[in-house]
Chain A
């Protein structure tokens, strides 16, 4: 069974700091891995999708990497801002690359002014 773990569960940083969020998964037979952002009381917003043939994707100040062999993905946020405060979740395919996406429990990020 695919398991997705995100560490740490919560992170507090001062504004301007560069930071890394971690996501690990147990079954490397995935088609892609996706990072999301969730604001309180809201739905999830897709940030980056990394296909299995890619090693990284970039969007603005965000960079996500994927290492299938080690079962890890990282989300790098450059020059963090208070508006980046949210919960960040990653999701990977189910066991054997099934359609049943499995989510991590998220990392709650607080960026202090």
Chain B
């Protein structure tokens, strides 16, 4: 199994509070991604990173920011959490070559915004 951990695994927070989710990898992979999973929508890309300090927006980036200061860590921040951000958040990693950017996923973080 790819070495990907996410923290926290579960979090309940109140509307308007800032929240940071952490993704940590031990594979030294170049690419990292944050997705959210909601019923009826599959997984949707929030932000991704293609190197240290190199990030870009995905399909559903509004209300989220990311940072990557080290290869192994990719942080997702909700500046002011809203109930619509209640979701399961997955981090993924990939590397060029191999099975063409096959992505390995972390265990997920279940976030509830009340």
Chain B associates with chain A: no
A contacts, CB < 8 Å to B: none
